[in-house]
């Protein structure tokens, strides 16, 4: 049996500006509507859930500062994902690189912290965290550029290895990272010089502004520099790049290493910021995976990632509060993230193509 009409996609020569802005907005809206229907169907009040999430995540002083605080790490993992995605390299192991950034940062804070003043220690800690993230992606980057081994699977497998590593460092007796006199296994706090204090009475740390500036800097790098241009050329047409003498291997390597470093930096911001120690709770939070969603919603636009990072942080903060104040499971926040991305992907088709339904007869002619 054949459908009486066919759906036709016409590639748009140029996407109208208003569509580029409208599509993400409508995707979020549609996901929220779908979520509302789901909430009502499962016996929760949608209006109450949403208004609670909105006020706890965005509209109150506590809420918005907490959201901006959480967005710090999400923007970091978001730009990490986008940096590789834009070259069609799918580093989906940002999660593991983030753990390594935390391990590296915690090591620096514990080993070097007592000997260095704060203004040296903080930048050094962030740098070592980024370096640890880059080390973690080195093997996938190397085999991707030399042998063509799929980076999707290798980066992902290493995430599980990294997660075991974090648990090992915390649970092993006499571990360097473990606090000595505590009832249950937990990380040792880094030296005072390695921890920043939050702004006022909030949970927002100055690293937020560092990360925002970094995102804007990368935006500039990709749009304006020769390195950014090379990435675009390889992404658009690897063959053309080859003929133009652009080394795809080398660029693949550096893009992936930088992507890992950015995710590692995200882990290090957690050490100087809210955690101040290696904490195995990180393996349950999924900040690295969330970065992929953040990047995808912003369509790998580094300035857009700041916005989508804050949006998703707010959904999480609002969701967490929800479970405390009402009995609605906090996972509605995660579900909505997934739904928003699914709708955004669908909406993308309408941005790129003119979609029309045509009667079968008309096609036959």
Partner 1 sequence: MNSNIWILSLADSVAIATTLILAALGALFTERAGVLNLGIEGMLLTSAITSFLVADASGSIWFGLLLGIILGAVLAGIHAFLTVVLRANQIVSGLALVIFGTGLANFLGKPAEGKTVRTTIEAMSFGALTDIPILGPIVFGQDIITYAAILIAIVASWFLFRTRLGLEVRATGDDPATVDAQGLSVASIRIRYTLLGGALVGLGGSFHMLAQSAAWHLEATTNGIGWIALSLVVFAGWRPIRLIFGAILFGFTLQLPFTLQAEQITFIPSALMPMLPYLATLIALIALSRPGSRNILGAPKALGTPFVRDER
Q: What is the 3-state secondary structure (H, E, C) of the chain?
A: CCCCEEEEEEECCCCCHHHHHHHHHHHHHHHHHHHHHHHHHCCCCHHHHHHHHHHHHHHCHHHHHHHHHHHHHHHHHHHHHHHHHCCCCCCCCHHHHHHHHHHHHHHHHHHCHHHCCHHHHHHHHHHHHHHHHHHHHHHHHHHHHHCCCCHHHHHHHHHHHHHHHHHHHHHCCCCCCECCCCCCCCECCCCHHHCCCCCCCCCCCCHHHHHHHHHHHHHHHHHHCHHHHHHHHHHHCHHHHHHCCCCHHHHHHHHHHHHHHHHHHHHHHHHHCCCCCCCHHHHHCCHHHHHHHHHHHCCCCHHHHHHHHHHHHHHHHHHHHHHHHCCCCCCHHHHHHHHHHHHHHHHHHHHHEEEEEEEHHHHHC
For the bound state, the minimum distance from the C-beta of residue 361 to partner 1, rounded and expressed in Å, comes to 18
Residues 101-140 within binding reach of partner 1 (CB under 8 A): 139
Residue from 346, 358, 359, 362 binding partner 1 (CB under 8 A): 346
Site string (52-91) toward partner 1, x via CB under 8 A: ---------------------------------x----x-
Q: Which is nearer to partner 1, 94 or 267 (CB)?
A: 94
Q: Candidates 72-80, 193-201, 340-348, 356-364: pick the segment binding partner 1 (CB under 8 A).
A: 340-348
Residue 303 binding partner 1, by CB under 8 A: no
Residue 92 binding partner 1, by CB under 8 A: yes
For residue 354, the cross-strand partners are: 10
Q: Which is nearer to partner 1, 5 or 353 (CB)?
A: 353
Determine how many CB atoms are found less than 10 A away from the CB of residue 27.
22
Residue 26 binding partner 1, by CB under 8 A: no
Q: Which is nearer to partner 1, 20 or 172 (CB)?
A: 172
Q: Candidates 13-21, 52-60, 266-274, 330-338: pick the segment binding partner 1 (CB under 8 A).
A: 330-338
Residue from 15, 20, 40, 42 binding partner 1 (CB under 8 A): 42
For the bound state, the minimum distance from the C-beta of residue 163 to partner 1, rounded and expressed in Å, comes to 8
For the bound state, the minimum distance from the C-beta of residue 205 to partner 1, rounded and expressed in Å, comes to 26
Residue 240 binding partner 1, by CB under 8 A: no
Q: What is the total residue count of the chain?
A: 365
Round to whole Å and give the CA distance between 128 and 133: 9
Round to whole Å and give the CA distance between 169 and 365: 69
Q: Candidates 66-74, 187-195, 222-230, 331-339: pick the segment binding partner 1 (CB under 8 A).
A: 331-339
For the bound state, the minimum distance from the C-beta of residue 254 to partner 1, rounded and expressed in Å, comes to 20
Residue 281 binding partner 1, by CB under 8 A: no
Residue 357 binding partner 1, by CB under 8 A: no
Q: Which is nearer to partner 1, 42 or 55 (CB)?
A: 42
Site string (140-179) toward partner 1, x via CB under 8 A: ---x---xxxx-xxx-xxx-xx--xx-xx--xx-------
Q: Which two tokens stand for residue 119?
A: 């203004």
Under the rule (CB under 8 A), what is the footprint of partner 1?
Answer: 7, 9, 42, 85, 90, 92, 139, 143, 147-150, 152-154, 156-158, 160-161, 164-165, 167-168, 171-172, 284, 289-290, 292-293, 296, 329, 331-339, 341-342, 345-346, 348-349, 353
């Amino acid at each position: 049996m054949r459908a009486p009409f066919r759906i036709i996609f016409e590639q748009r020569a140029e996407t109208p500006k208003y569509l580029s802005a409208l599509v993400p907005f409508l995707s979020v809206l549609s996901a929220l509507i779908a979520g509302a229907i789901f909430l009502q169907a499962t016996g929760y009040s949608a209006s109450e859930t949403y208004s609670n999430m909105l006020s706890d995540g965005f509209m109150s002083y506590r809420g918005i500062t907490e959201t901006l605080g959480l967005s710090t790490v999400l923007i970091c993992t978001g730009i990490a994902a986008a940096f590789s995605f834009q070259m069609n390299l799918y580093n989906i192991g940002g999660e593991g690189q983030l753990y390594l950034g935390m391990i590296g940062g915690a090591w620096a804070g514990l080993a070097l912290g007592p000997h260095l003043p704060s203004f040296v220690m903080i930048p050094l800690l962030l740098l070592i965290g980024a370096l640890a993230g880059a080390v973690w992606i080195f093997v996938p980057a190397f085999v991707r550029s030399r042998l063509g081994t799929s980076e999707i699977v290798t980066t992902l497998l290493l995430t599980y290895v990294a997660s075991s590593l974090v648990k090992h460092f915390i649970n092993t007796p006499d571990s360097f990272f473990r606090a000595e006199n505590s009832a249950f296994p937990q990380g040792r706090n880094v030296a005072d010089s390695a921890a920043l204090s939050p702004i006022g009475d909030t949970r927002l740390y100055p690293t937020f502004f560092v990360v925002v500036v970094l995102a804007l800097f990368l935006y500039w790098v990709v749009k304006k520099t020769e390195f950014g241009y090379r990435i675009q050329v390889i992404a658009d047409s690897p063959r053309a790049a080859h003929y133009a003498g652009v080394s795809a291997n080398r660029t693949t390597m550096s893009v992936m290493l930088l992507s890992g470093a950015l995710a590692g930096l995200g882990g290090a911001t957690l050490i100087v910021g809210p955690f101040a120690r290696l904490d195995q709770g990180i393996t349950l939070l999924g900040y690295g995976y969330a970065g992929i969603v953040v990047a995808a919603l912003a369509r790998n636009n580094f300035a857009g990632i700041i916005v989508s990072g804050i949006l998703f942080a707010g959904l999480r903060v609002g969701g967490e509060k929800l479970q405390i104040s009402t009995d609605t499971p906090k996972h509605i926040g995660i579900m909505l993230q997934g739904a928003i991305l699914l709708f955004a992907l669908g909406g993308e088709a309408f941005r790129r193509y003119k979609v029309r339904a045509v009667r079968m007869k008309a096609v036959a002619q």
